[in-house]
Amino acid sequence: MPNSMIKTALYGLAVAVLFSCSGLKPESGTRAPQQQQLSGNIRLNQVGFYPNATKLAVVVGDNSGGKFFVKSTDLQKTLYTGQLTEPKANEFSGRPTRVADFSAFTAAGSYVLVVPEVGHSYPFEIKQNVHREAAAAAIKGFYFQRVSVELPERYAGQWARPAGHPDKNVLVHPSAASAQRPAGTVLSSPRGWYDAGDYNKYIVNSGITMGTLLAAYEDFPEYFASLELNIPESGNGVPDLLDESLWNLRWMLTMQDPHDGGVYHKLTNPAFDGMVMPDAATNPRYVVQKGTAAALDFAAVMAQASRVYRTYSREYPGLADSCLAAATSAWQWARKNPAVRYEQDTMNKQFKPEVTTGAYGDRELSDEFIWAAAELYATTKQDSFYTAVNMLPDQNMPLPSWAQVRLLGYYTLVRLGDSLTPVGRKALPEIKARMVGMADALLDGVDARTYRTVMGKTEKDYVWGSSAVAANQGIALLQAYRLTNDKKYIRGAVSNLDYLLGRNATGYSFLTGFGGKPTLHPHHRPSIADGIADPVPGLLSGGTNARADKQDNCTTYSSTFPDEMYTDDDCSYASNEIAINWNAPFVYLAGGLEALQAKGAL
Ligand code: 9MR
Ligand code: 9MR
Ligand code: CA
């Protein structure tokens, strides 16, 4: 069993022990009996806090306020006493909230927060490296998404399963037919990661996912090199994060048509599979239509991978050169075909079988051009890539998402900094200023919010996959820290990790396997079909989505306030699916914070 799982199992045990102790042993004296009860109304990071970090809990609902206590998990010892703030109405629901600030308490250990009249919180820890297991588990989450391979017990524990989707006989869909590869041609396109709760593989979404994971490695190489994940490649001299990413990179390479450099948009079943295990999902699979977004995201990833894996040329001979060649020909295809959008409905009118799986259709392609140009330029130092696009088309600094990848290019240019040519160095001061300005805008007004997280300042943050909004905001803040060394940006990033692990208006920790109240029922086919009570660990739920009830018609939402529209029910693909492009920024945020605290930045 990998460490992270043992840890998760032990953690579950600790919670169980705490429940039974607190039920059986009422404290003597004057304290209200409610103190003995677990309360979901005390919202905090259920994993824990770094000793020097800001430590906040939000107490929701009516109560008379006053003092709060940090106690030992058996409730016997009081280690810190603080004062709750006056109540304030939540910005969306109007619910009364008070904040408990125990930042001044720094002693390592396991604790609960106790609020008289309300109860006690889930247990949490204060210590160095408090998010190490979560960061490692989130990378291991990708291992659990591996396509075309058995997951043996030795690596997968109780979530062991047979191989699914060999993808050795994939058909060319009529939308993707070419002279050399007419419709029905059989291709081999194995490996990769399942995108999400479904079993399809999408180049666009793999693009931002890989870009984010490789960026995490490039920004914090020593830290990620130190993370052992217990995957089959562990111990081979290559950091596990890069070994895991290679599983998907090798699949991506097969998605390029060697005859013209074009890249298929996705490899998919015509329709979503039922809720079955991977090996039971045996419907035919197709590669579907080449597209500009796919070619550019592919080019960006391959250019970046060429840079990153060159260090490991001994372990992976030829890989860096293959990646760069693939990147260049995809880029050339995109330059010749700059506006081939993926429009699934239009395509379905023209070609059969109809394809109804995830579309990842993107209308705006200038950001994909920017990202690909930036990566190709950063890797080759050839000015022609840089000058082929308008790097600063407008003042916008859009938060990264699968459809919007401009900032991935900026992050790379800034990271490579001094090693760039004069052409690329020229705009760096402007790009840096914008990145810091963006981070300042994210921090603006946070302390006046009821949950005091960067995430959720406006309803717009609560989109499908909002957990990735929180994580990507965290990345933007860490980028600003790297530019300025100003700790306020780290504090902002921590506030969003706290959000993801419990300090939010739903009271859930959105990372499976972590916290006293984690997501238990994600829309994730293996977790639904495997007959095992616990979901596959280390997967990030998409989380709160202001429009979820209208998008998946699930009937178990208990609230429709924008910051509370979440249901831990596997019917809810609009609020409770998991996806690789949500896990990746979690890996960056949790891993990046771990790396920075290890260096004493916190
Ligand atoms: O399982 C599918 C999930 O991965 C997608 O994100 C979601 C939206 O495209 O669709 C899910 O599939 C559902 C389909 O759209 C409608 N019929 C029920 C399917 C399973 O719940
Ligand atoms: O993350 C995607 C989200 O931005 C879209 O609004 C949604 C509906 O198109 O699709 C999400 O992506 C899903 C993809 O289409 C299929 N695999 C599961 C993805 C996560 O739900
Ligand atoms: Ca775009």
Buried b / exposed e along 299-336 (16+ C-beta atoms within 10 A): bbbbbbbbbbbeebeeebeebbebbbebbbbbbebbbe
Taking the C-alpha atoms of residue 584 and residue 591, their distance in angstroms, rounded to an integer, is 10
Taking the C-alpha atoms of residue 528 and residue 324, their distance in angstroms, rounded to an integer, is 39
For the record, the structure tokens of 367 come out as 């950001």
* pLDDT one-digit tens code per residue, 308-341: 999 999 999 999 999 999 999 999 999 999 999 9
Please give the pLDDT value at position 33. Answer: 57
Give which of 243, 362, 355 is closest to 297, Cα–Cα. Answer: 362
CA 299 to ligand 3 center in whole angstroms: 14
Out of 198, 273, 461, 530, the active site residue is: 198
Give which of 571, 509, 545 is closest to 137, Cα–Cα. Answer: 509
CA of 196, closest atom in ligand 1: 4
Please give the pLDDT value at position 10. Answer: 36
Out of 219, 523, 530, 570, the active site residue is: 523
- Pocket, ligand 1, Cβ cutoff 6 A: 196-198, 272, 358, 573, 577
CA 275 to ligand 1 center in whole angstroms: 10
Q: Give the mutation target among 195, 460, 578 for probing the ligand 2 site: most ligand atoms within 8 A of CB.
A: 195
Q: How many CB atoms lie within 10 A of CB 235?
A: 11
Residues with CB under 5 A from ligand 3 (ion): 362, 364, 367, 403
Q: Is the CB of 159 under 6 A from ligand 2?
A: no
CA 503 to ligand 2 center in whole angstroms: 25
Q: Give the mutation target among 194, 198, 547, 552 for probing the ligand 1 site: most ligand atoms within 8 A of CB.
A: 198
Give the chain's count of helices (H) and strands (E). 20, 15
Q: Give the mutation target among 273, 550, 573, 580 for probing the ligand 1 site: most ligand atoms within 8 A of CB.
A: 573
CA of 200, closest atom in ligand 2: 17
Report the Cα 439 to chain-centroid distance in Å. 19
Q: For residue 244, give the DSSP letter.
A: H
CA 542 to ligand 2 center in whole angstroms: 10
Give which of 503, 504, 502, 481 is closest to 492, Cα–Cα. Answer: 481
Q: Is the CB of 577 under 6 A from ligand 2?
A: yes
Ligand nearest to the CA of 578: 2
Question: For the CA atoms of 564, 568, 574, 579, what is the dihedral angle to 10 degrees?
Answer: 120
* Cis, peptide link before residue 353, omega less than 30° from 0: yes
Q: Identify whether 523 is a catalytic site residue.
A: yes
CA 204 to ligand 3 center in whole angstroms: 10
Give which of 475, 287, 263, 470 is closest to 372, Cα–Cα. Answer: 263
Q: Identify whether 243 is a catalytic site residue.
A: no
CA of 357, closest atom in ligand 1: 9
CA 167 to ligand 2 center in whole angstroms: 22
Please give the pLDDT value at position 16. Answer: 36
Q: Is the CB of 465 under 6 A from ligand 2?
A: yes
Nearest CA to ligand 1 atom 21: 571
CA 360 to ligand 2 center in whole angstroms: 7
Q: Assign 3-class secondary structure to 77-132.
A: CEEEEEECCCCEECCCCCCEEEEEECCCCCCCEEEEEEECCCEECCCEEECCCCCH
Q: For residue 570, give the DSSP letter.
A: T
SS3 577: strand
Q: Which residue has the tokens 């391959």?
A: 302
Out of 195, 564, 577, 594, the active site residue is: 577
Ligand nearest to the CA of 468: 2
Q: Is the CB of 243 under 6 A from ligand 2?
A: no
Please give the pLDDT value at position 602. Answer: 87
For the record, the structure tokens of 539 come out as 């997967």
Report the Cα 412 to chain-centroid distance in Å. 19
Taking the C-alpha atoms of residue 154 and residue 119, their distance in angstroms, rounded to an integer, is 40
* Phi, psi (degrees; rounded to nearest 5) at 39: -125, 125
Low-confidence ranges of the chain (pLDDT < 50): 1-31
Question: Positive or negative, the Cα torsion across 6, 9, 12, 17?
Answer: negative
CA 511 to ligand 1 center in whole angstroms: 21
Q: Which residue has the tokens 């074009």?
A: 262
**Helix or strand (DSSP H, E) at 37:** none
Ligand nearest to the CA of 575: 2
Q: Give the mutation target among 198, 344, 404, 552 for probing the ligand 2 site: most ligand atoms within 8 A of CB.
A: 198
**Helix or strand (DSSP H, E) at 288:** strand 286-290
SS3 346: helix
